[in-house]
Amino acid sequence: MRKRRLLSAELLLFLSAAFLAAAPNGFPGKTPGQGQLERSKFYALQVIFEKNVQDAKDSLGAPDGRHAEILPGGQLVVLMEKKLYPFPIFRGWLEGGGGLADSGSVVGKGETDFSLEGWFLKQTTQCKQHYVWRPLVLSISGFCVWLECEAGVDMIRIANSGTKSLFVDAVLGYGRRAERR
């Protein structure tokens, strides 16, 4: 069972790297096209932490054309309105070259060298609980929460490891119900 989970995680990492290589500007956050699944959306509600960020509150709420600027070496941590959860593999999307449905996306522009992480509750072998930052799986259109993280996550960290500014307009989470557009 553990081997199967490790294999699944390795496959997801490989697929996410392939998606990033094909991404036009490296910054996920596109809107769904015709015939794709449309889900309810929710947004970042509060800035929890900022380091080397200008206008951090401009990253909150729905996309509005105003951007928080994360300078090189900067970090922005936001609290979402609701928790983000892993979504199952959608068969039609998988046949079209996809895999997991996105849990959320970041709307913005700028530098391609950034990381996206979630603040997850982890249980040790001694049954003690603590929180850890874990990378989120990036795709062309957004990001996915790991399948093993069924408890979900509501705190997201965006870190700019590049040499140019990263501009974030909004962080979106997608609801669990999906409808055809």
Q: By C-alpha distance, which of 172, 178, 164, 175 is closest to 72? A: 164
Considering its fold, how many domains does the chain have in total?
1
The secondary element (H helix, E strand) that includes residue 83 is: strand 68-84
Q: Which 3-state string (H, E, C) describes 83-126?
A: EECCCCECHHHHHCCCCECCCEEEEEEECCCEEEEEEEEEECCC
Residue 85 lies in a domain: yes
Residue 169 lies in a domain: yes
Q: What per-residue confidence (pLDDT) applies to 38?
A: 66
- Pull the structure tokens for residue 112: 């391609």
What residues form DSSP beta bridges with 171? 106
Quote the domain boundaries for residue 86.
Answer: 2-30+39-175
State the pairing for strand pair 143-144/68-84.
Answer: unpaired
Residue 181 lies in a domain: no
Alpha helices by DSSP H, listed for the chain, are 2-22, 91-95
Residue 88 lies in a domain: yes
Residue 180 lies in a domain: no
Q: What share of the chain is helix, strand, coil (3-state, %, to 5)?
A: 15, 50, 35
Local confidence pLDDT in tens for the 181 residues of the chain: 444 444 344 444 434 443 333 333 445 544 444 445 567 899 999 999 999 999 999 999 999 999 999 999 999 999 999 998 887 654 444 444 445 578 899 999 987 789 999 998 887 777 788 889 999 988 878 888 876 666 789 999 999 999 999 999 999 998 865 544 4
Give the integer Cα–Cα distance in Å for 166 and 31.
19
Residue 97 lies in a domain: yes
pTM for this prediction? 0.73
Residue 90 lies in a domain: yes
- Pull the structure tokens for residue 179: 């409808």
- Pull the structure tokens for residue 21: 């290589």
CATH of the domain at 146: 2.60.120
CA angle (155 as vertex; 150, 157 as ends), nearest 5: 115
What would you measure as the largest C-alpha separation in the chain, in angstroms?
49
Residue 58 lies in a domain: yes
